[in-house]
């Protein structure tokens, strides 16, 4: 019998999909899911037009680095394309152990575990360690993967104002004292570009016996010595129990990691469902991440260029009177405050061949609708000049 979408006993879930307002709006205005036809570094081709990519998280510009590309190709030749299984069963390979050792040592940790996605790593970095009856204190603006980890843990959560140590203190003071406690924060906030006020937050966590989980997806590769991240930037390695992050940003791959003491990582390997029941990181992706990690340590010019580009870019935006939400990093929002303004601005940039991503409520707080941009070490001076022209044009279209 043919499936009728409009029969009188239509399934409720199908009706939900059919009627969903957000999906209809997304399809009508099509701001997301654009598929590029080609890419070379920060240049992409979209619908037959060459554009500058201004929203990739390839901060150090290593995704096309010859050593990184060659390492991934060689790993695929040697190990095939997939691990075809989870780490505890048939999916573990010696290259996972090598990458984990190198990441742990780079981050000054005893151990590390890598997963096939940063989302899985960060979600499990919370879900594995917190339990029903625990208290979690989480920054209001943490990434969705951390919120999912909190939900999965079944712990009680209290949110504190974004990057606000005084509010964290108040929230902790008002909470139960007898429960195990966890603090969940990011090192660099992905939308805002803010650096966590880690010295103050870590001190409060220490005083109140909070186990701290810090997601450094956007701090790794960007802050600290050779890009060791936010914890290293502040020299607070002994005050943060878990650093989790992504391989898909500065490490020019896909996948994620959780780094901590050996005991903590072994606990994760025993209890984290996402770790136990999901296929292991693939050979090409592990090799790309490992090669990028080596490049980070041997070629400082990428980090230097990233910061020099970041300063030039933020100066361009400020010169045009744009609100960059006081970003301090290469993750640079342009806050425009309403979805209509954001859409106009984004379209104007596209007209000028600059590709960005718009981010609107509920992905950002009310009144903070923004264009999310990110600068890379690979952007050339010529591209920065073209970006400046495009921004000036977009400002006039507001």
**Closest CB 11 distance from ligand PLP, rounded Å:** 31
Is the C-alpha dihedral spanning 289, 294, 299, 304 positive or negative? Answer: positive
Near ligand PLP by CB under 6 A: residue from 44, 135, 195, 217: 217
Size of the site for ligand PLP (CB under 6 A): 14
**Closest CB 224 distance from ligand PLP, rounded Å:** 16
Near ligand PLP by CB under 6 A: residue from 134, 139, 148, 215: 215
Residue 229 as a binder of ligand PLP (CB under 6 A): the answer is no
Residue 71 as a binder of ligand PLP (CB under 6 A): the answer is no
Between 256 and 285, how does the x/- string for binding to ligand PLP read (CB under 6 A)?
Answer: x-----------------------------
Residue 75: partners with Cβ closer than 8 Å, 6 or more residues away: 95, 283, 284, 286, 287, 288
Cβ closest to ligand PLP, residue 291 vs residue 390: 291
Residue 329 as a binder of ligand PLP (CB under 6 A): the answer is no
Task: Give the CB-nearest residue to ligand PLP.
Answer: 118
Of residues 106 through 125, those in contact with ligand PLP by CB under 6 A are 117-119, 122
Q: Is the peptide bond before 117 cis (omega within 30 degrees of 0)?
A: no
Only segment of 65-73, 213-221, 366-374, 387-395 that touches ligand PLP (CB under 6 A): 213-221
Residue 246 as a binder of ligand PLP (CB under 6 A): the answer is yes
Cβ closest to ligand PLP, residue 93 vs residue 115: 115
Are 83 and 93 in contact by the 8 Å Cβ rule? The answer is yes
**Closest CB 301 distance from ligand PLP, rounded Å:** 25
Task: Specify burial of residue 321 (Cβ count, 10 A radius: 0-12, 13-18, 19+).
Answer: exposed
- b vs e for 155-181, b when ≥16 Cβ sit within 10 Å of the residue's Cβ? bebebbebbbbebbbebbeeeeeeeeb
**Closest CB 117 distance from ligand PLP, rounded Å:** 4
- Strands, DSSP E only, in the chain? 38-40, 43-46, 49-53, 111-115, 135-139, 156-160, 181-186, 210-215, 242-246, 256-260, 331-335, 354-355, 357-359, 370-374
Only segment of 210-218, 224-232, 359-367, 368-376 that touches ligand PLP (CB under 6 A): 210-218
Cβ closest to ligand PLP, residue 249 vs residue 305: 249
Residue 222 as a binder of ligand PLP (CB under 6 A): the answer is no
Residue found by looking up tokens 């050979």 in the block: 283
**Closest CB 222 distance from ligand PLP, rounded Å:** 12
Task: Specify burial of residue 227 (Cβ count, 10 A radius: 0-12, 13-18, 19+).
Answer: buried
Task: Specify burial of residue 126 (Cβ count, 10 A radius: 0-12, 13-18, 19+).
Answer: buried
Only segment of 42-50, 169-177, 212-220, 389-397 that touches ligand PLP (CB under 6 A): 212-220
Angle subtended by helix axes 301-319 and 283-298, to nearest 10:
90
Helix, strand, coil percentages, rounded to 5, for the chain: 45, 15, 40
Are 42 and 57 in contact by the 8 Å Cβ rule? The answer is no
Cβ closest to ligand PLP, residue 104 vs residue 251: 251
Residue 141 as a binder of ligand PLP (CB under 6 A): the answer is no
Angle subtended by helix axes 198-207 and 165-173, to nearest 10:
20
Cβ closest to ligand PLP, residue 146 vs residue 210: 146
Near ligand PLP by CB under 6 A: residue from 83, 141, 212, 248: 248
Are 127 and 272 in contact by the 8 Å Cβ rule? The answer is yes
Residue found by looking up tokens 């990181």 in the block: 281
Of residues 30 through 59, those in contact with ligand PLP by CB under 6 A are none
Cβ closest to ligand PLP, residue 27 vs residue 144: 144
**Closest CB 120 distance from ligand PLP, rounded Å:** 7
Cβ closest to ligand PLP, residue 212 vs residue 383: 212
Residue 383 as a binder of ligand PLP (CB under 6 A): the answer is no
φ/ψ of 331, rounded to 5, equals: -85, 105
Of 249, 356, 375, the closest CA to residue 312 belongs to 375
Between 179 and 198, how does the x/- string for binding to ligand PLP read (CB under 6 A)?
Answer: -------x---x--------
User: For the chain, how many helices (H) and strands (E)?
Assistant: 15, 14
In three-state secondary structure terms, 360 is coil
Q: Which two tokens stand for residue 230?
A: 């936010």
- Contact residues for ligand PLP (CB under 6 A)? 117-119, 122, 143, 145, 186, 190, 215, 217-218, 246, 248, 256
């Amino acid at each position: 019998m043919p499936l009728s979408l409009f029969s009188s006993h239509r399934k409720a879930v199908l009706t939900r999909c059919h009627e969903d307002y957000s999906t209809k709006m997304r399809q009508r205005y099509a701001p997301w899911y654009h598929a590029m036809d080609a890419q070379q570094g920060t240049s992409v081709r979209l619908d037959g037009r060459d554009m500058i990519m201004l929203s990739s998280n390839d901060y150090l510009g290593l995704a096309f680095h010859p050593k990184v590309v060659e390492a991934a190709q060689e790993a695929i030749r040697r190990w095939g394309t997939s691990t075809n299984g989870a780490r505890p069963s048939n999916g573990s390979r010696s290259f996972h152990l090598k990458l984990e050792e190198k990441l742990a040592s780079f981050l000054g940790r005893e151990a590390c575990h890598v997963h096939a996605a940063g989302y899985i790593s960060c979600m499990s970095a919370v879900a594995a360690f917190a339990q029903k009856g625990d208290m979690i204190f989480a920054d209001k603006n943490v990434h969705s993967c951390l919120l999912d980890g909190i939900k999965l843990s079944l712990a009680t959560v209290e949110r504190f104002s974004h990057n606000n140590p005084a509010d964290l203190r108040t929230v902790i003071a008002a909470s139960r004292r007898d429960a195990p406690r966890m603090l969940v924060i990011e090192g660099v906030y992905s939308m805002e570009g803010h650096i966590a006020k880690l010295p103050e937050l870590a001190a409060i966590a220490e005083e109140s016996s909070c186990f701290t989980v810090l997601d450094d997806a956007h701090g790794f590769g960007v802050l600290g010595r050779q890009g060791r991240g936010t914890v290293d930037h502040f020299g607070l390695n002994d005050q943060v129990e878990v650093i989790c992050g992504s391989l898909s940003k500065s490490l020019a791959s896909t996948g994620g990691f959780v780094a901590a003491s050996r005991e903590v990582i072994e606990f994760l390997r025993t209890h984290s469902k996402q770790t136990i029941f999901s296929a292991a990181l693939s050979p090409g992706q592990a090799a790309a991440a490992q090669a990028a990690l080596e490049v980070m340590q041997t070629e400082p010019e990428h980090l230097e260029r990233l910061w020099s580009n970041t300063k030039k870019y933020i100066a361009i935006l400020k010169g045009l009177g744009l609100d960059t939400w006081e970003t301090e990093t290469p993750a640079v929002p342009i806050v425009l405050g309403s979805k209509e303004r954001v859409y106009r601005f984004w379209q104007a940039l596209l007209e000028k061949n600059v590709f960005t991503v718009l981010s609107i409520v509920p992905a950002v707080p009310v009144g903070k609708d923004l264009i999310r941009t990110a600068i890379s070490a690979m952007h050339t001076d010529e591209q920065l000049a073209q970006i400046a022209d495009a921004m000036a044009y977009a400002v006039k279209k507001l």
